[in-house]
Structure 1
Amino acid sequence: MTSAGHVQSETGQPYVGLRAFRQQDRGLFFGREREAREIATLWQADRLTVMYGTSGVGKTSLLHAGVLPFLGSDRVDALPVGRVAPDPALLVSTAPVRSVYTLSLLSSWSAAPPAELAGLTIRDFLDRRPARVDRYDDPIPTLISIDQAEEMFTGAPYQESDLEEFVAQLADALQANAGLRLLLSMRQEYLASIVPFERVLGQGSRSWFHLLPFRRETALEAIRRPLDGTARRFGDNAAELLVDDLQTVTIDNDQGERTVLKVSGVEPVQLQVVCSALWESLPPEVHEITVDHVRLYANVDRFLTGFCRRMLKEVAERHNVPEGSIRSWLKRAFITEHGTRGTAYEGLHQTSGMPNAVVRALEDRHILKAEYRAGARWYELQHDRLIAAIRHTDPETSLQAARTALSRAQWAHARELTEDAVRTAEFDDLGVRAGAEAIFGDVAVGTGEPETARRHYDAAAEMFAVLQRADGVGRVLAAKGRLSLKLGDFSEAVSALSAAVARVPGDTSAQTDLARAFWHVGQPRAALIVLNGALAVTGETLLDALALRGAILADLDQPKAALRDLDLVRQHQQPATLAARALALALAGRFDAAEQEAADAIANAGHDGPVLLRAARVHVILGNAGAAAALAARAVRADDPALPEHLREQARRLLPEPD
């Protein structure tokens, strides 16, 4: 016991995580005092009490850590919680039994060898126990319970034949002992299965209790109170923020539309998963868990995604089914195109193509839940919150989808997918965070937020550097350089792109952009060196690099070399390439062809300064001084793109002298 009167767990963890609470965990079990009291009262009062609820709502935990400790051993004679799932090991070297359910239940109550229990009925076993009385010598009630009682109805055919005998033995024991009380704890989808037996078991005295998820106030108690025996506590609004997150569900449909839902209850299994993971994520020196800690470490989606990964891996290994196949099946069978929960009914051997043994295993691990409808058993995901966890189990998949959205200029969707990847990644997964920052930068470029883009690119570069990922650093610096190129910050573009090419020397796109940056700062020969290197090492025809080298060679009055490149890109000519080819043709003395191509370039030039200047130079060579001056004037005023400074001076020389 701690000084606060709370029992610590064996590991010092105040939250039990995925497993159910045990009786020794009662000092950590909070938020269910009302339910424990009501069930204890019903159990003592009625011959039959049925507690039911969905999978993961906490029935087993409530029974062990809430109800049994509340009763007290001096007021009732409570046997250990029983189970009836037949264990084949119990039947080895055991004489034939009248009911395997009976043997399983008696084995839950006694450590005696199965052979000694095989011939006993439930009444026989109970009659052999010494009668217990209170301090007034009055008999005290004998309480028996069966947890996961739905196991009576989920066995193989040979077990189903034992069910009637088992129920008859229970009824006989209840009738023979006026103080005997039975509690059945079961999933609510099996309620219809117990109805035919409730009269014979209850004998006119029966009650039902529906266990629901936590309410907001009880969820807060279940979060805060386990810390009473530790050196930590929740600060103002921190636990409330955690509950808000547990009650918020985000749904994405196939069109990228997002819906945010607020649910009223909090699933106990989800609360334990998240709180356990939060506790383990906190630095050792943290004593007060603040709102900032919750925001930083209590990523509900990431924790639930980790939970899904572990459960799918367990099921995949146990049943020898590829994990990817299970994940794809879950998406196909239980998530609609609208991003909501779908349903699938259980067939004789398979559910929507998946073996029923695998489906039942997923139900046991709180991924799926089932209910009976129209005579069939239907499955769905345990909670809306698992939709995102199933869809985005692999954060890298989300990042790849975000990159696809970027390629389609779907900026908002790319941002949302990237946010999903960050939410579902492990906190210390720096690779995912670095990739996400790079995508956030690309999104900011697309939405016209250059300063935001630079911040994201800088953050991504730092993370990739920590990971010693030179390729990642290079890609981010190349993106930052292209942004500077676009904004007209050519010196910064040269710096960023030079650093990028040094780290990723095989990135010919970055080399082409670096050459373009050199040209803009008035270093065309440096640009040619970069382009020559890029074109020499690749076996591909790099149209952009060829077009740019041809244009620069034309600007440098080298028509033969320029035409050699420009002739290779004639099928993909843009106005800039047309104007460069026109200039090269004029320099080579092919005036008619030059005049025609210059006219084509001018027709589509718009406010492109370099195109207009090259066309002006063509007209100078053709002897059309007036046309050349007009085009040069337009080139000086152009802004899409504007002329680099070294070409602007060249254009001014073509203007007539002022009077």
Structure 2
Amino acid sequence: MTALPGDRTAEPYVGPRPFRRAESALFHGRTEEARHLRDAWLSERVVVLHGPAAVGKTSLLHAGVLPLLEEEPRPARTLVLPVGRLIHQPTWPLALSSGPGGYRFTLISSWTPAGQAPDPEQAVGAALESVIADTAPRRVLAAIDHMEELFTAFPARVQERERLVAELAGALRELPLNLLLVVRDDQLATLSSYEGLLSPQPFAYVRLEGLDQPSAVSAVTGPASGSGRRYAAGVAEQLVQRLRTTTYTDRLGTSVEIVSDRVSPFELQIACAALWASLDDGDDAITPDRLAQLGDLAGILAGYFDRTVRDVSMETGVPEPELRDWIETTFITERGTRGTAYRGLTQTADMPNPVVDALVARHILTEEQRARSLWYQLGQERLVEAVRTANRAHHVVPARGRPQEHTPADFRAAAEAALGEGNFISAHRFASVAARRSLEQGDERQFANLLAFQAEVSRIEGDLEAAKQTLNEARSQFESQQDALSTVQVLTALAEVSLSMGEADEAVDLGRQAVARMPGDVSARTLLAYALWQAGSPADAEAAYNDALDLDRNAARALYGRGRVRIALRDFRGALADLDRALALGLPRAEEDRARAAREEAQRRLGL
């Protein structure tokens, strides 16, 4: 438990999570940065605070800048709004849904005072006018934390994103608004591309880096100052020196030591929390001996990695040894550097995407956009040695003293990377090698999955005949393995290919086969409904969509499909209600554009 200074029994270090506003008394080492950011926010129309992941941007805003604005004199009639977000964050799975009204509704909900209900139909400027109406301020300070969510959370929502930027630009023109945008470095270029659209004045950029040596010492000693305990002379400096020093060791045992001029706040908090937890109740001073007993930073980070692996294993159901082995083999290269992995439709390097999302949320992995795809790597360089240290203790990763032959998984990873780059020839070639080697090793399930992947490459490439042929081969494999779920997924994909080829009746037959095998599969029922509509049976299609929505009332694609069918059936009000809900829940980009067009048609038919 974290508490304010003065409580010796409580934990004065927050660990890997950001500082909260109530913990400002524990926040040390950022005085200069906090004052600089406060002054920029007060004087500039748009300020962009940026830096790498886990460098402390959110902590600086909540525990550094906001307390300064509250505790020190500021210009008269300056209103500071609550920090805004673009997606709800109660838990990680719920963050995958944007809620009613999408980005805009979540943002104005953040800025609206407690007890007031925001109007999801209001534009940002109108909502802000309602919020500030009673105070008539000369200046309004508004912040949006994690601005990268605008580009990464729902990347297909292009129109919604453009609308939000336009509405923020309108609010900046019409209101005395100073906007602070907090964004990760990997999305800074994307945000900067909107500079001319968002503001007539250039953005003011403030970059946050790691802690320098004096600031890091302050961040170590400051939280403990009111606890009744103290650091013995030189101990805090020794700890900071450890945090500045990194030793890289490759698989052949060659090591090199690098001393950085900056300290990661993430690593500092983990190290200090571990050191504090190691103290006995009677310890009044943190001595060099106690620091020596703690071990090196790699061991401390290894402990954090161990806890994270246990938590993610419990959350996702992936066995802990499997998860440990996957992280090391995927994200650490033979040279001891950070490796990368491409995010596929459902898996990343053969691991379900929810596992990756959980590791990103805990800062073990970090993500970046590259070549129109999402890629992952370890969140910190020092985690390389931490992962190796932790895994050696658990004996889950085989020794790799000599080079090993590439596995089918290696070739599949290469195929996925080529697909992400639009290199279809290489994607086919690597996938073919992976499939052949899987079959040679007797891994029939992996072979079937690779056939399905090859079909997806052909489908994206536009070779529908090849996609259909390969999907039928995959179907035969999955049926022989009695894998019902995979068989249904292949039948659904085959139906979609048939529709693309203009073979609606065949798609209906495939859809019915999929539903018969797995009646509770919402995707299969949604596909069947669409195929029925394309085959000229809108009433049957509506009934099939109803069946899908009985299983999941928030199935956005089923709502979108039923909305379009209801237009054909002249139920325009029902269509409008379905399309509005589908758009609020979120659709792929192409379907979102068509849903908006269908919504306009329904409104036009209603005379709205």
Which category of TM-score, normalised to the shorter sequence, fits these structures?
0.5 to 0.7
Q: Which residue of 1 aligns with 2:110?
A: 108
Deviation at 1:315, TM superposition (A): 2.5
Deviation at 1:192, TM superposition (A): 2.2
Q: Are the structure 2 counterparts of residues 130 and 25 from structure 1 closer, same or farther at C-alpha, using a change threshold of 3 Å?
A: same
Q: How does 1:52-91 map to 2 (within 5 A)?
A: 52-72=50-70, 75=74, 76-86=78-88
Q: Are the structure 2 counterparts of residues 114 and 393 from structure 1 closer, same or farther at C-alpha, using a change threshold of 3 Å?
A: farther
Q: Which runs of 5+ in 1 are unaligned?
A: 1-5, 406-659
SS at match of 1:393: helix
- For the 8 Å contact 1:46–1:202, the answer to whether it is kept is no
Partners of 2:276 and 2:47 in 1: how far apart?
37
Residues 164-207 of structure 1, C-alpha deviations (whole Å, 9 max, x = no match): 12112211111111x21111111111112212322222321421
Q: Are the structure 2 counterparts of residues 50 and 357 from structure 1 closer, same or farther at C-alpha, using a change threshold of 3 Å?
A: farther
Q: Are the structure 2 counterparts of residues 24 and 296 from structure 1 closer, same or farther at C-alpha, using a change threshold of 3 Å?
A: same
- For the 8 Å contact 1:77–1:142, the answer to whether it is kept is yes
Q: Which residue of 2 aligns with 1:141?
A: 139
Tell whether 2:260 aligns with 1:263: yes
Tell whether 2:20 aligns with 1:22: yes
Deviation at 1:307, TM superposition (A): 0.9
Deviation at 1:270, TM superposition (A): 0.9
State the one-letter code of the partner of 1:125: A
SS at match of 2:299: helix
Q: Which residue of 2 aligns with 1:163?
A: 161
TM-score, length basis structure 1: 0.54
Deviation at 1:380, TM superposition (A): 2.2
Q: Which residue of 2 aligns with 1:351?
A: 348
Q: How does 1:194-273 map to 2 (within 5 A)?
A: 194-273=191-270
Q: Are the structure 2 counterparts of residues 347 and 278 from structure 1 closer, same or farther at C-alpha, using a change threshold of 3 Å?
A: same
Deviation at 1:140, TM superposition (A): 3.8
CA RMSD of aligned residues (A): 3.3
SS at match of 1:52: strand
Residues 82-118 of structure 1, C-alpha deviations (whole Å, 9 max, x = no match): 1111579999xxxx96x41111112223366796432
State the one-letter code of the partner of 1:70: L
Partners of 2:8 and 2:311 in 1: how far apart?
24
- For the 8 Å contact 2:19–2:59, the answer to whether it is kept is yes
Partners of 1:394 and 1:266 in 2: how far apart?
25
Residues 193-227 of structure 1, C-alpha deviations (whole Å, 9 max, x = no match): 21232222232142111111111111111001112
Partners of 1:326 and 1:357 in 2: how far apart?
12
Partners of 2:337 and 2:398 in 1: how far apart?
20
TM-score, length basis structure 2: 0.59
Of 337, 340, 363, 1:340 maps to 337
Residues 137-160 of structure 1, C-alpha deviations (whole Å, 9 max, x = no match): x94421111111111112336644
Partners of 1:276 and 1:50 in 2: how far apart?
31
Q: Which residue of 2 aligns with 1:43?
A: 41
State the one-letter code of the partner of 1:78: V
Residues 389-422 of structure 1, C-alpha deviations (whole Å, 9 max, x = no match): 21121454469989x99xxxxxxxxxxxxxxxxx
- For the 8 Å contact 2:112–2:118, the answer to whether it is kept is no
Of 257, 279, 293, 1:296 maps to 293
Deviation at 1:9, TM superposition (A): 7.5
Q: Are the structure 2 counterparts of residues 303 and 372 from structure 1 closer, same or farther at C-alpha, using a change threshold of 3 Å?
A: same
SS at match of 2:283: coil
SS at match of 2:376: strand
Q: Percent identity at matched positions?
A: 38
SS at match of 1:142: strand
SS at match of 2:219: helix
Q: Are the structure 2 counterparts of residues 10 and 22 from structure 1 closer, same or farther at C-alpha, using a change threshold of 3 Å?
A: farther
Q: Which has the higher contact order (CA 8 A, sep 6+)?
A: 2
Flag the structure with larger Rg. 1
Q: Which residue of 2 aligns with 1:188?
A: 185
Residues 407-452 of structure 1, C-alpha deviations (whole Å, 9 max, x = no match): xxxxxxxxxxxxxxxxxxxxxxxxxxxxxxxxxxxxxxxxxxxxxx
Deviation at 1:303, TM superposition (A): 2.1
- For the 8 Å contact 2:210–2:262, the answer to whether it is kept is yes
Q: Are the structure 2 counterparts of residues 182 and 37 from structure 1 closer, same or farther at C-alpha, using a change threshold of 3 Å?
A: same
State the one-letter code of the partner of 2:279: L
Partners of 2:371 and 2:396 in 1: how far apart?
42
- For the 8 Å contact 1:54–1:369, the answer to whether it is kept is no
- For the 8 Å contact 2:105–2:118, the answer to whether it is kept is no
Q: How does 1:586-625 map to 2 (within 5 A)?
A: none
State the one-letter code of the partner of 2:341: A
- For the 8 Å contact 1:47–1:180, the answer to whether it is kept is yes
Q: Are the structure 2 counterparts of residues 20 and 8 from structure 1 closer, same or farther at C-alpha, using a change threshold of 3 Å?
A: farther
- For the 8 Å contact 1:86–1:101, the answer to whether it is kept is no
Deviation at 1:7, TM superposition (A): 4.8
Of 268, 272, 276, 1:279 maps to 276
Partners of 1:101 and 1:384 in 2: how far apart?
33
Q: Are the structure 2 counterparts of residues 140 and 25 from structure 1 closer, same or farther at C-alpha, using a change threshold of 3 Å?
A: farther
Tell whether 2:115 aligns with 1:122: no
Partners of 2:266 and 2:253 in 1: how far apart?
29
State the one-letter code of the partner of 1:123: G
Deviation at 1:119, TM superposition (A): 2.7
